[in-house]
Chain A
């Protein structure tokens, strides 16, 4: 690992990212432009999150990386190995043990503490982008707090589907000022964003960093007669029996059999280790 500067990036790049993080924390929900670097992985694999993590890590940190809640998927494994090699930091799969958690599209089920930092990988940071493709216009809309278009989009959901059909990347209002894309987390996770930990968001391809300090007010957009609902599959986990966790659906065979399992692998593992058994679980599974 001595072939790399600590945490891969050169110091000037880290300073530039660090300045963007500080301004992001000072203006919660506002997207700070930054000079995103080429990383040794393709765009879409978390280059923004990796750059934010690289600028944030200290040698004493313990890093956890999850992809859709799982520690053992390709994206999570490769980013974890990247930092093991270039920063020499300890890594873990246990949420409670981690001081920095980089995530793709989930917030861990366990409550995060004041000593933890959650780094999100963000593909499209601009919540208004699919409604208005021009950056000059979306910037103006944010500056004028002109978010009517977003409510029209949610209204059209209701008029077409009878309910707000947006199920992930559900837009939030941060501290009554900026509408923010929470990254493509399921809307089940939205209420967790008012948390004790520091939340940092990095979008590498789109060159934006934004942040939500601890205990910041984060409200999912909705209507009085169609209030926001944090939905999940209406089942318990088939392995650990949890009824409060976000579930993945797994097709088992051609006969239509399927199972639901916790998307957060560490949460499921720790519950099974504590003796919880679901419909398809076995006593010794943990």
Chain B
């Protein structure tokens, strides 16, 4: 195997404790307020991955977490970059703690861990790359949302199925450029106005 090119070593956090604290705050507020878009940046991965997705992986992954790269983002350069910066092992979808990619490439959803009845936290977190994040579309209700919120989702039917599994299910981050929003399994979805 060839030595990784220099691109694997660049694009990391400038000041790791500070950059990761900012990135985590954005991720936490996103997860606590479903559908609300936050700014997140600090890491740049090679290839098509957005800065937001790269920053999330850098903030949350390490040798204790496994990553599944969907086919549309699975390049040798990205694998080298993630290995150098996080040390996280790459696995099949069914074992993954974190999965990254476009919506279509990540499907079917049922292949991911949804946790167990006694440990619903042992479930996958999906980082879904989107062309843009828009506060128009499906109506969101539930924890973290005052009354209702609007957010553009890739497939409301599939996501309603995931929410119906609560307290089991997977949790989502949606990323685009340097922006992130989240959809935890606890959010109820509908398509009405």
Contact = CB atoms under 8 A, between A and B. Distances in A.
Interface of A: 5-7, 11-12, 14-16, 18-28, 30, 32-33, 55-59, 139-140, 142-144, 175, 177-178, 196, 198, 211-217
22 contacts: A7-B21, A11-B17, A12-B64, A15-B59, A15-B60, A18-B28, A22-B60, A23-B123, A24-B121, A25-B143, A26-B186, A30-B120, A32-B121, A33-B121, A142-B118, A143-B116, A178-B167, A213-B33, A213-B144, A213-B186, A214-B146, A216-B143
Contacts, number: 116
A253 to B, nearest CB: 48
Contacts of A26: 31, 171, 184-186
Given A18-B28, A198-B28, 10 more contacts: A22-B171, A26-B185, A27-B121, A30-B121, A56-B21, A58-B21, A139-B119, A143-B117, A211-B32, A213-B143
A143 B118 contact: yes
B16 interface: yes
B130 interface: no
B31 A22 contact: yes
Interface string B85-123: 000000000000000000000000000000011111101
A16 B64 contact: yes
Q: Which of A59, A175, A215 has the most CB of B within 10 A?
A: A215
Contacts of A22: 27-28, 31, 60, 125, 171
Nearest to A216: B143
B18 interface: yes
A216 B64 CA distance: 31
B168 to A, nearest CB: 9
Contacts of A198: 28-29, 32
Given A23-B121, A27-B121, A175-B143, A14 B20 contact: yes
A248 B44 CA distance: 53
B14 interface: no
A5 B24 CA distance: 16
A139 B24 CA distance: 29
Contacts of A15: 20, 59-62
Contacts of B62: 12, 15
Interface string B112-155: 00001111110101000000000000000011111000000000
Q: Which of A19, A28, A33 has the most CB of B within 10 A?
A: A19
Nearest to B123: A23
Interface in B17-52: 17-18, 20-22, 24-25, 27-29, 31-33
